[in-house]
Amino acid sequence: SSYHKVLEENRFLYNQVQDLKGAIRVYCRVRPFLQGQSNGQSTVDYIGENGDMMIVNPLKQGKDARRVFSFNKVFGTSVTQEQIYADTQPLIRSVLDGYNVCVFAYGQTGSGKTYTMSGPDLSAEDTWGVNYRALRDLFYITKERSDSIKYEVFVQMIEIYNEQVRDLLVSDGSNRRLDIRNTSQLNGLNVPDAFLVPVTCTRDVVNLMRIGQKNRAVGATALNERSSRSHSVLTVHVRGRELVSNSILRGCLHLVDLAGSERVDKSEAVGERLKEAQHINRSLSALGDVISALAQKSAHIPYRNSKLTQVLQDSLGGHAKTLMFVHINPELNAIGETISTLKFAERVASIELGAAQSNK
């Protein structure tokens, strides 16, 4: 088939991608067509078993119309929240062994980032996203290990909007701006003035997330939904004391719902909208630069170029583990954003793969 032909042309680079199962993982998730949407042709033509996919662009002709992308995993439209979490779980669990972990949701607005991270309905547990499943799992394991390790779990929730950091767990919805400082004694927690709330069960977390979501919405203007223009970072800090040795371990899990990655038409965006778009572009490319520098083991990692990468500095690189979910909207009118999302994802996986530059 043409899929296999394109894949064969890229065999050399493809193998390199498969070898890249190190600290940085990239998973792609394809959103289903939504109810009431014209059920047109999907731009995702094929999903293979080894983390590869083929995108078809009907606006292009011949060889240029098809392109293979390859990641650690690709999830099709029928994959459930439970299956998504099953492939995330080992990473989450390593937080309890003292690792710092970042999970990102990347994609254009409406591609399913919030669906993956939070889920569509807080009151229906079977639809829960990675955030709630992760916390439920962490509490479960801390109980399981309670004979040997005494764990404490804390939660922080911040938002980064126009390069300003805001606490989402303030009870009065106030707009307190926060500084970023590197606090070496609390590895992974670089916004020391944001509330750090102790939690003991999943219900505590659900209640906090409700507050956080409400605060996130408060800043929204009538014109645009702010949540799609800001990054939200849910940080779970774990402190464990081994009962026999009395030694302390700390781990940090950052669950990051990124701002929508769509490019804004320069001729259309003015004023506040243009400023937002520029901040988002800059911070997403700063994130891409940091991750690809880490993947290439560069000597210099440009953490200082955005608030987002400064906040997460201790949890990107070193012994930390990173997982990025990139989200695809399969509609034809999203093809431009789909290609640019997949190219971004390739860049963070540090491999260029495509018909144009195969190894000939």
Point out which residues bind ligand ADP (CB under 6 A).
31-32, 34, 107, 109-115, 120, 228, 327
**Would you call 340 helix, strand, or coil by DSSP?**
helix
Q: Residue 114 Cβ, how far from ligand ADP at the closest point, in Å?
A: 3
Q: Which CB sits closer to ligand ADP, 81 or 310?
A: 81
The count of other CB atoms within 10 Å of the CB of residue 123 is 7
CB 324 within 8 A of CB 23: no
Buried-state track 47-66, b at ≥16 Cβ within 10 A, e below 16: beeebbbbbbbeeeeeeeeb
Q: Residue 1 Cβ, how far from ligand ADP at the closest point, in Å?
A: 26
Q: Which CB sits closer to ligand ADP, 187 or 228?
A: 228
Q: Residue 237 Cβ, how far from ligand ADP at the closest point, in Å?
A: 25
Pairing of strands 321-328, 24-30: parallel
Cα distance between residue 81 and residue 156, in whole Å: 24
CB 52 within 8 A of CB 14: yes
Inter-axis angle of helices 11-19 and 2-9, nearest 10: 70
Cα distance between residue 271 and residue 3, in whole Å: 45
**Would you call 166 helix, strand, or coil by DSSP?**
strand
Q: Residue 322 Cβ, how far from ligand ADP at the closest point, in Å?
A: 19
CA distances to 5, 51, 215 from 69, in Å? 14, 8, 38
Q: Which CB sits closer to ligand ADP, 36 or 90?
A: 36
Q: Residue 228 Cβ, how far from ligand ADP at the closest point, in Å?
A: 5
Q: Residue 124 Cβ, how far from ligand ADP at the closest point, in Å?
A: 12
Q: Which CB sits closer to ligand ADP, 262 or 346?
A: 262
Q: Which CB sits closer to ligand ADP, 96 or 284?
A: 284
The count of other CB atoms within 10 Å of the CB of residue 130 is 23
Q: Which CB sits closer to ligand ADP, 108 or 142?
A: 108
Residue with nearest beta carbon to ligand ADP: 112
CB-count exposure of residue 304 (10 Å: 0-12, 13-18, 19+): exposed
Q: Which CB sits closer to ligand ADP, 113 or 307?
A: 113
Q: Which CB sits closer to ligand ADP, 32 or 48?
A: 32
Q: Residue 111 Cβ, how far from ligand ADP at the closest point, in Å?
A: 4
CB-count exposure of residue 277 (10 Å: 0-12, 13-18, 19+): buried
Q: Residue 60 Cβ, how far from ligand ADP at the closest point, in Å?
A: 26
